[in-house]
Amino acid sequence: MNINNIRHSLAHIMAAAVKELYPGVKFGVGPAIENGFYYDFALPSEVPLVSGTKKGLSLADLPKIEKKMKELIKKDLKFVKKEISKKEAKKIFKDQLYKLELIKKLPGKTVTTYQNGEFVDLCRGPHIKSTGEINLQTFKLTKTAGAYWKGDEKNPMLTRIYGVAFETRQELEKYLKTQIEAEKRDHRKLGQRLELFLLDEEIGAGLPVWLPKGAVIRKIIEDELYQKLSSQGYQWLYTPHIGNLNLWKKSGHWDFYKENLYSPIKIDEEQYLLKPMNCPFHVKVYNSKIRSYKNLPIKFAELGTVYRYEKSGVLHGLTRVRGFTQDDAHIICTSEQMAKEVEELVRYGLNMLKDFGFKEYNIYLSTRPEKYAGTLKGWEKATKTLKYVLGKLKLKYKIDAGGGVFYGPKIDIKIKDSLGREWQCTTIQFDFNLPDRFEMKYIDKKGKKQKPYMIHRALLGSLERFFGVLIEHYIGAFPFWLAPEQIWIIPVGSGHKKYAKQTSSQLAKNGFRCEIKDENETVSKKIREGELQKIPYILVVGDKEMAKKSVRVRERGKGDIGMMKLERFIDKIKKEIEEKK
């Protein structure tokens, strides 16, 4: 049983059900997708030249369609494939303007159709044999959305119905449960409620702004990277946001990634490109001096902001954007140094992810595709090194044979968040393209020129996406060391404000981020607000606390954990910072 055939077949069955319920409906396309399927429809009232009064579909209509689908499935209808001439197809689909458009664009003189009961669709297949193969409890229609015909906003907007389908009922139930959980932790909603970042259409789609609280977290992440990488011999670079187009032509980016690049900007008589990657700048820095084997490895790091074109339809909060900052680095080394460098990268990458709370991950090793840059020997050596390191560190990994990028083999580490969803973070990629194109060299022991090995690597990937994942992983309740506001101090009455201030400055002196909440509201209301804001510690100070130089501590998720001396509280939270709890 092929689940994709089932999903695709369900799309047809859904279309058949919609046709019975809404005669006169026009069909767009209906493919299988990840976890399910969809179909696009133009309902009678939305179709030009057809008089109808029915309004668009909504969520409330889905059960009715689902019921109709089940009726059709129970009839055990066969899927019958036919190859027919285009002329004949045009007759069959004479009322279906979108299908006619598709027929016109298809190559050849014939097309294939699939008939299921009374419903005929223009389709290449494949499908299941008969609707009887579908278990009624393994699919569900989930949502409706507007979708432009062919994804082009100049075209009419169609109604899209999404469904999900799995091999077993258990899988479907698990998926639906996860979806509910995922909605609760949607970083777009949490980001707004907790004032972490801003997405504003007037600023521009896919261009997030880090708000003060989000910026605190970003600064902690950046400091962490800065400190750790500096201690490992990395040198930091800052490079411009645009560069001469010729640079990108030379690097090959202009040819290979054109669909992800923005149009060049004309400055004086030259063309400039908004940078999609930092690599060519780093290579130029390397080439700005003669390098000896004694200088290697050279490791250049940069928190480099890059811009890549994404279709507006796929933009999503912080996880799919048009401008983002990579924790980028390039390691340039000799072949003898490769293994040690890769090992350090993997080891450090995993430790870093663990510090941020991601203890589970999947590792993928992608090998040489058919078309590739560099030499076969170089690829083999690099691939062997990657395998050797993963073996040495006793890490399990999957091989994506031939799935490497054209310029070199790579290791990808995908973290699993608290819902078990995979997110691409760390990537370690060899590059045989840039060293060639930019003629990178070093002088070896014998005084001869040699070509170095080059490794691109990002540990967190994009800071924006990593932050989005972090928000969802923790449902906004960041661990103490990352929380933008770590402690709130609530004075019980106006007579306690001075003591609250003393407490606050004591905490600030020890490097903690705290706020005094002395607005004219009840203590319980402020506590509730603090809980909503997911503040790790809320300290309440009144007469008793003041007299004993103490604080009453409320810990997130635990509630009141009692009164303690301020010094003892400081010791406790210092330890939590050390442990990155």
| Residue set of the binding site for Zn(2+) | 279, 330, 456
**What is the C-alpha to C-alpha distance for residues 434 and 405, in angstroms, rounded to an integer?**
13
CB of 279 within 8 A of CB of 251? yes
Active site residue 193: no
Nearest 5°: phi and psi at 120? -115, 135
Task: Catalytic residue, from 99, 140, 160, 456: name it.
Answer: 456
CB of 101 to Zn ion, least distance (A): 16
CB of 528 to Zn ion, least distance (A): 48
**What is the C-alpha to C-alpha distance for residues 432 and 435, in angstroms, rounded to an integer?**
6
H helices, E strands: number in the chain: 18, 28
Closer residue to Zn ion in complex, CB, 239/550: 239
**What is the C-alpha to C-alpha distance for residues 572 and 411, in angstroms, rounded to an integer?**
39
CB of 212 to Zn ion, least distance (A): 31
Closer residue to Zn ion in complex, CB, 159/486: 159
**What is the C-alpha to C-alpha distance for residues 8 and 190, in angstroms, rounded to an integer?**
35
CB of 342 to Zn ion, least distance (A): 15
Closer residue to Zn ion in complex, CB, 68/456: 456
Active site residue 327: no
**What is the C-alpha to C-alpha distance for residues 382 and 409, in angstroms, rounded to an integer?**
7
Residues paired with 42 in a beta bridge: 26
Alpha helix positions (H), 272-337: 279-287
Task: Catalytic residue, from 12, 26, 308, 414: name it.
Answer: 308
Residues paired with 553 in a beta bridge: 539, 562
Active site residue 279: yes
Closer residue to Zn ion in complex, CB, 66/302: 302
The reply on whether position 247 binds Zn ion by CB under 5 A is no
CB of 330 to Zn ion, least distance (A): 6
Active site residue 326: yes
DSSP for 186-225, please give it.
Answer: -HHHHHHHTT-EE--TTT-TT--EE-HHHHHHHHHHHHHH
Task: Catalytic residue, from 99, 123, 291, 326: name it.
Answer: 326
Which token pair is 293?
Answer: 């084997």
Closer residue to Zn ion in complex, CB, 7/456: 456
Closer residue to Zn ion in complex, CB, 27/512: 27
CB of 488 within 8 A of CB of 551? no
Peptide bond into 297 cis (omega under 30): yes
Alpha helix positions (H), 367-416: 376-392
335-358: burial string, b at 16+ Cβ within 10 Å, e else: eebbbebbbbbbebbbebbeebbb
Task: Catalytic residue, from 96, 121, 279, 526: name it.
Answer: 279
- Kindly identify the residues of this chain, within the stretch 426-485, that bind Zn ion according to CB under 5 A: 456
The reply on whether position 123 binds Zn ion by CB under 5 A is yes
CB of 481 to Zn ion, least distance (A): 30
Q: Report DSSP state, residue 493.
A: S
The stretch near Zn ion (CB under 5 A) out of 37-45, 267-275, 278-286, 446-454 is 278-286
CB atoms near residue 86 (< 10 Å): 14
CB of 162 to Zn ion, least distance (A): 16
Residues paired with 170 in a beta bridge: none
Closer residue to Zn ion in complex, CB, 279/492: 279
Active site residue 12: no
**What is the C-alpha to C-alpha distance for residues 260 and 76, in angstroms, rounded to an integer?**
46
Active site residue 425: no
CB of 279 to Zn ion, least distance (A): 3
Task: Catalytic residue, from 410, 457, 534, 554: name it.
Answer: 410
Closer residue to Zn ion in complex, CB, 127/473: 127
Closer residue to Zn ion in complex, CB, 144/278: 278
CB of 390 within 8 A of CB of 416? no
Residue list, annotated binding site? 279, 330, 456
Q: Which one among 89, 279, 365, 564 touches Zn ion, defined by CB under 5 A?
A: 279
Task: Catalytic residue, from 40, 121, 327, 328: name it.
Answer: 328
Report how many residues bind Zn ion under the rule CB under 5 A: 3
Peptide bond into 156 cis (omega under 30): no
Going residue by residue from 83 to 122, which x/- string records binding to Zn ion, judged by CB under 5 A? ----------------------------------------
Closer residue to Zn ion in complex, CB, 327/417: 327
CB of 277 to Zn ion, least distance (A): 6
CB of 132 to Zn ion, least distance (A): 18
The stretch near Zn ion (CB under 5 A) out of 219-227, 262-270, 275-283, 336-344 is 275-283
Nearest C-alpha neighbor of 14 from the set 69, 75, 56: 69
**What is the C-alpha to C-alpha distance for residues 360 and 414, in angstroms, rounded to an integer?**
9
Residue appearing with tokens 């010791």: 571
Task: Catalytic residue, from 26, 99, 330, 414: name it.
Answer: 330
**What is the C-alpha to C-alpha distance for residues 157 and 155, in angstroms, rounded to an integer?**
7
DSSP E strand boundaries for 248-311: 265-267, 270-274, 298-307
Residues paired with 145 in a beta bridge: 160
Which token pair is 543?
Answer: 């007469």
The reply on whether position 13 binds Zn ion by CB under 5 A is no
Nearest C-alpha neighbor of 454 from the set 394, 359, 382: 382
Residue appearing with tokens 């990458």: 349
Active site residue 496: no
Nearest C-alpha neighbor of 471 from the set 262, 109, 208: 208
Which active-site residues does the annotation give?
A: 279, 308, 326, 328, 330, 410, 456
Rule CB under 5 A: which residues touch Zn ion?
A: 123, 279, 456
